Amino acid sequence: MYSPETIADFHTLAAQRGIALVVDETYKDFRTDPAPPHDLFNRPRWGDSFIQLYSFSKVFALTGYRVGSVTASPEFLSELEKILDCVAICAPTISQGAALFGLTSLAQWKQEKLTVAKEKAIALRQAFTHPDLDYRLLSAGAFFAYVRHPFEEDAKAVAKRLAQKHDLIALPGSMFGPGQEQYLRLAFANAEAGVMPDVVARLIESQAA
């Protein structure tokens, strides 16, 4: 995630160029800092150069229901509606109902889930401090961790070996763009905090292969 200062600088640059800064804030609820992620909504005429995207899938456990929001100027939303009319009229009714229920009734549930997610991330970071581990944890959010592997082979080969020989699923960095062969992405949101040491133990075991 970018700092509020970096986001502000990007917005200033975009506004100067007459274009809109699009910010995907799907994970904003999982930030550990209670302060707002940015102050763009407080800027005069923010709607001329800022578009916020948001998804309810992570925070309300609605993965696959395809419901989110776009916050922008009325003029932009009017044009967006023309495009949506040619693609999809709206999210399914059940998705809209679930999102509305989440917004109106799940504040405490959401906070409990956020606490658990933070505990898992802390446990993962702690496990990765093992002195025998050659893999390096570069970043860890609420759901995913980005890891640098220690091998000369490409990320796909490393991910395949981890799955076949060590029962550990990781996505190769090459799935996310060029120049990512040295990296893997681990999804840890569905794992309990107590299994993080076992994850690291399997990574250490793979180093002997």
Residue 13: count other Cβ atoms within 10 Å of its Cβ: 12
How many domains in the chain? 2
Among 10-14, 32-36, 163-167, 175-179, the minimum mean pLDDT is found in 32-36
| Segment 77-122, tens digit of pLDDT | 999 988 888 876 677 889 999 999 999 999 999 999 999 999 999 9
Q: Which helix (H) or strand (E) holds 145?
A: strand 144-148
Same domain, 146 and 196: yes
Domain that holds residue 83: 4-105
The predicted pLDDT at position 87 comes to 78
Same domain, 142 and 81: no
Same domain, 96 and 171: no
- What's the length of the chain? 209
- Greater confidence (128 vs 36) lies with 128
- Greater confidence (209 vs 195) lies with 195
The predicted pLDDT at position 209 comes to 63
**Cβ neighbours for 165, distance < 8 A, ≥ 6 positions apart:** 206, 209
**Cβ neighbours for 1, distance < 8 A, ≥ 6 positions apart:** 27, 31, 37, 141
Same domain, 87 and 147: no
% residues pLDDT > 70 (the chain): 99
* Residue 198 in tokens: 């076992």
Counts of helices then strands in the chain (DSSP H, E): 6, 7
Q: Mean pLDDT for the chain? A: 93
The predicted pLDDT at position 89 comes to 67
* Residue 180 in tokens: 């990512």
The predicted pLDDT at position 110 comes to 93
Same domain, 45 and 60: yes
| Segment 54-81, tens digit of pLDDT | 999 989 999 888 899 999 999 999 999 8
> Last residue of a domain, which of 105, 127, 161?
105
Same domain, 138 and 170: yes
User: What's the CATH number where 157 sits?
Assistant: 3.90.1150.10
Phi and psi for 54 in degrees, rounded to 5?
-150, 150
Phi and psi for 78 in degrees, rounded to 5?
-65, -40
| Segment 128-179, tens digit of pLDDT | 999 999 999 999 988 999 999 999 999 999 999 999 999 999 999 999 999 9
d(CA 170, CA 80): 36
User: What's the CATH number where 59 sits?
Assistant: 3.40.640.10
Angle between helix 196-206 and helix 155-166 axes, rounded to 10 deg: 110
